[in-house]
Amino acid sequence: MFSWLGKQGGGRERGGGADVVQTVTGGLRDLYLRKLLPLEEHYRFHEFHSPALEEADFENKPMVLLVGQYHRKTTFIGRYLLEQDFPGMRIGPEPTTDSFIAVMYGETEGNVPGNALVVDPKKPFRKLGRFGNAFLNRFMCSQLPNEVLKSISIIDSPGILSGEKQRISRGYDFCQVLQWFAERVDRIILLFDAHKLDISDEFSEAIKSFRGQDDKIRVVLNKADQVDTQQLMRVYGALMWSLGKVIDTPEVLRVYIGSFWAHPLRNTDNRRLFEAEAQDLFKDIQSLPQKAAVRKLNDLIKRARLAKVHAYIISYLKKEMPSVFGKENKKKELINKLPEIYIQLQREYHISAGDFPEVKKMQEQLENCDFTKFHSLKPKLIETVDNMLANKIASLMNLIRQEENNMPTEMVHGGAFDGTMAGPFGHGYGEGAKEGADEEEWVVAKDKPAYDEIFYTLSPINGKISGISAKKEMVTSKLPNSVLGKIWKLADCDGDGMLDDEEFALAKHLIKIKLDGYELPGALPSHLVPPSHRKPFQTAE
């Protein structure tokens, strides 16, 4: 199976999880080198869009890129996610982070400067050397033995301020660097503070550089405890409105609202919301190792589609150039007509408009090119990539899906992630259906006298009420029938189609849980089973 992977496909039979990951990684690398890279090189794709991929790009751990305003990101990484300061970490009320810092796992703490980092073949940063010394002097890798970093790496970007001054003083193309990282990371997190919401011009430009990577973007609205509920609603609305003007996508971005720092909450009204949002954010980050292979496959598909479009554009420009006279005038004419050329190619090759590179940027890049040195269209190169997308990618996707089901779920551990998993401060502990889980007394017993009064008004026969009688009382909750039906199944412990006083009390307790905003359990937990039904009833934790 999958013999096309060849020796570079990992060189191992399907066996353990590590073998499969190696096979998938090797398969992706093999597809790129044999199928896609020849097309990229022939039409100078790397000069226009993205450098060639290297082995480290396929082997590296999932990466998370953080973009936001000065020290807020660094605090979020060190003091919150990792629960450990990392080498090179600086926090203060003034702008402090002026560098890109790759926070990665290492047996000992230490820093690796940018110039040394881009010559390390084991790190996925070699192609960053093209941004020059101005950037490399502001780039470093911070290594430390932290449990979180065994599963993911984190990229801390320079803080963004408002105004033109910072953009000019960087000395390198900040947005180009962000775009390079965006193409390679698994998640992009945009950080905002609820009490200091500001999307400056440079922040807008930075977000625009993530064009085509919208599926990777998540938004964190931090320090939401510093405003009241009414202000928080206004801030959230303003944030969504501002992002809608910058990010051109019909889908609404996922925004996590909370207080993501280790300080007491100033406003506790929305504590439950903050805890639920933090849990969702952790789940999203924790899923990255499991989804890493799918993400790399998805990025390879996006790259292949762009490379095909680029080949069509370059070969068209070559075809339209005169052989002897008027080359320069024709070049200017073709550059000006590029939007029309896009439309023509869309119709001729049935390509989606979303697959084409940005017109303005492409026009700027073509200004410095000699069109006569471009290559004509080679259908065989296009056919090879089409075959890869139609057949090889689909086969590899099936392999990934099969093994995702068979392999144990790989999760991020350590730091703030461990604080949300177990113990009394785990999310939802002692709330909803989990209330009373660590108590000896049946949790429903404290409200049972009130439920008994209702029970005996329903005319029980031989200590039980019929489904019709129970329904009359249960529908007064105004919950939909689908929910009440689930509650009935959970409460009717012996499955006789009737409820005794304990089962009825359990049904009322489950209704209360749902009305309080909690989810119902899929199966009845052992601590909720009525005392008289515990021996014969098989419980599910």
Worst-scoring range by mean pLDDT, 155-169, 212-226, 371-385, 470-484?
A: 155-169
Tell me, what's the pLDDT at 404? 66
Least reliable range by pLDDT among 123-132, 197-206, 227-236, 403-412: 403-412
> Assign residue 37 a region: left if phi > 0, alpha if psi is -120 to 50, beta otherwise?
alpha
Residue 3 has pLDDT above 50, yes or no: no
The percentage of residues in the chain with a pLDDT greater than 90, rounded to a whole number, is 54
User: 333 pLDDT exceeds 70?
Assistant: yes
User: Residue for token digits 């405890």?
Assistant: 225
Strand 187-193 to strand 153-156: parallel, antiparallel, or no bridges (unpaired)? Answer: unpaired
Q: pLDDT tier at 534 (50, 70, 90 boundaries)?
A: confident
User: Which of 46-55, 90-99, 114-123, 447-456 bottoms out in mean pLDDT, i.e. has the lowest?
Assistant: 90-99
The dihedral region occupied by 124, where left means phi > 0, alpha psi between -120 and 50, and beta the remainder, is alpha
- Burial code (b: 16+ CB inside 10 Å, e: under 16) for 353-364 equals eebbbeeeebee
- Both tokens of residue 71? 């020290």
421 vs 394 pLDDT, higher one: 394
Single-letter code of the amino acid located at 348 = E
Name the one residue in this structure whose structure tokens are 């190619």.
Answer: 345
User: Is it the case that residue 100 has pLDDT exceeding 80?
Assistant: yes
pLDDT > 70: percent of the chain: 87
Q: Between 313 and 75, whose confidence is greater? A: 313
Average pLDDT over residues 318-323: 91
Give the span between the Cα atoms of 7 and 23, in whole angstroms: 10
Q: Which of 139-143, 396-400, 537-541 has the lowest mean pLDDT?
A: 537-541
| Neighbour-count burial for 427-439, b at 16+ CB within 10 Å, e otherwise | bbeeebbbbbeee
Instruction: Give the C-alpha separation, 482 to 490, whole Å.
Output: 13
- The pLDDT score that the predictor gives to residue 11 is 36
Report pLDDT for 362. Answer: 95
Distance (Å, rounded) from C-alpha 232 to C-alpha 234? Answer: 5
Residue type, 401: R
Which pLDDT score, from 0 to 100, does residue 291 have? 85
What's residue 170's pLDDT?
Answer: 77
Q: How many CB atoms lie within 10 A of CB 399?
A: 18
Residue 306 confidence (pLDDT) above 90: yes
Report, as an integer, the average pLDDT of 178-207: 88
- Residue-wise pLDDT for 108-136, tens only, equals 999 999 999 999 988 999 999 999 999 99
Query: What tokens were used for 347?
Result: 């119709």
Q: What is the DSSP letter of 124?
A: T
Look up residue 461 and give its DSSP letter.
B
Mean pLDDT across the chain: 85
List domains and CATH numbers for the chain: 27-52+297-406 (1.10.268.20), 63-287 (3.40.50.300), 432-533 (1.10.238.10)
- Would you state the structure tokens that stand for residue 421, as one six-digit string? 């998993």
Task: List C-alpha distances in Å: 464 to 279, 474, 506, 512, 530.
Answer: 41, 15, 14, 21, 14
Mean pLDDT for the stretch of residues 456-485: 94
pLDDT at 9 (0 to 100): 36
